[in-house]
Amino acid sequence: MRQIGHQLLLAAGDDTSRVLPVQQVADNEFRISFESPFSFHPDTLIAIVSRNLATGGTLPAQYVVNVLACNNREVVYGFAKGVSNMPSPCSNRKQPADCYQIQILFSEPPARVQNKMLWGAGASLIALTGLGMWYKRRQKQPAHVADTPEAASTEAPVSIGAYAFYPEQQRLQYQQQEIPLTSKESKLLGIFARHLNQLISRDQLQKEGWEEEGVITGRSLDMYVSKLRKHLQQDIQVKLVNVHGRGYRLEVTAE
């Protein structure tokens, strides 16, 4: 993260100003702040961020980058990587020197991606060790004793068309398919599920979903809605509709 800041300052011709400590605002949100005002060209910003975040799978491949004005936290420029249904960034105008913060929102917490890699690296050893222990226990069991199934979850699902939504487990189920959700996706879908077929304003979604976690931009909300729309696309009776200029509505129609 700090390298992104240093390289932006160098691209602006500033090799003396400091990049301030990177802030982790939420599990999947980071902000880079600067000691002094600087200018930037969008093409340069995109290239620097893309190069530094292309880390061979240790970070989520989907993210949104916003440049925030320090005085009012308004988005002066932004772009998305790997997020469908997002507008293409305008990259031909240099932004004037000002006080900026760089906000980076990943589609899921980076630690979750790293944990997946660590699990994959050690999966063979764990599997072999576990298999040996299981075999020894089986040898000690009487032949007539059957395996005890794991306790089933008692959480009642929320029906969304043909989907079963389990908020506490952060997952969707469609027929035999399990669809894991991030905490943000689950929280947002919970809001929609409580207001099926009702228009929910963007302000309400941001207030209910992220007020306690700091600033969330319109682009960030759009990213999560886009991911939910993709998760729900298998049932044609379920549609997550964008009502231009007003908000979103999760429509579930009868067959």
For 46-108, the three-class secondary structure string (H helix, E strand, C coil) is HHHHHHHHCCCCCCCCCEEEEEEECCCCCEEEEEEECCCCCCCCCCCCCEEEECEEEEEEECC
| pTM, rounded to two decimals | 0.46
What digits encode the pLDDT tens for the residues 95-107? Answer: 899 999 999 988 8
Confidence tier at 75 by pLDDT (50, 70, 90): confident
Domain encompassing residue 36 = 2-111
Is the pLDDT assigned to residue 152 strictly greater than 50? Answer: no
Q: 98 with 172, same domain?
A: no
Based on the number of CB atoms within 10 Å of its own CB, is 143 exposed (0-12), middle (13-18) or buried (19 or more)?
exposed
One domain for residues 82 and 175: no
- Tell whether 234 is covered by a domain: yes
My answer on whether 174 and 236 are in the same domain is yes
Helix (H) / strand (E) element for 113: namely helix 110-140
Residues 95 and 9 in one domain: yes
**In terms of domains, do 97 and 13 share one?**
yes
Query: Average pLDDT, stretch 166-188?
Result: 90
Let me know whether 162 and 99 are in one domain.
no
* 131 belongs to a structural domain: no
Given a cut of 50, is residue 119 above it in pLDDT? Answer: no
**Do 205 and 104 reside in the same domain of the chain?**
no
Q: If you ran DSSP here, which 8-state letter would residue 16 be given?
A: S
The verdict on 105 and 7 lying in the same domain is yes
Token representation of residue 214: 């700091």
**Count: domains in the chain:** 2
Residue keyed to tokens 């160098």: 10
Mean pLDDT confidence for 175-201: 90
pLDDT-derived band at 114 (thresholds 50, 70, 90) equals: low
Nearest to 117 by CA among 164, 58, 32: 58
Boundary (domain end) residue, out of 79, 111, 143 = 111
Does the structure show a pLDDT above 90 at 33?
yes
Structural domain ending residue among the three candidates 44, 76, 111? 111
Residue 140 lies in a domain: no
Domain contains 24? yes
Residue 209 lies in a domain: yes
Please check whether residue 171 is in contact with residue 219, taking contact to mean a CB–CB distance below 8 angstroms.
no
**Residue 61 counted as domain residue:** yes
The answer to whether residue 129 sits within a structural domain is no
Which of 82, 111, 140 is the C-terminal boundary of a domain? 111
* DSSP codes of every residue in 153-203: P-PPPEEETTEEEETTTTEEEETTEEEE--HHHHHHHHHHHHTTTSEEEHH
Identify whether residues 18 and 101 lie together within a single domain: yes
| 174 and 96 in a common domain | no
Q: Judge if 102 and 167 occupy the same domain.
A: no
At residue 143, the pLDDT reads: 44
Domain CATH number, residue 207: 1.10.10.10
Is 138 part of any domain? no
Residue range 219-233: mean pLDDT, rounded: 86
* Residues 39 and 96 grouped into a single domain: yes
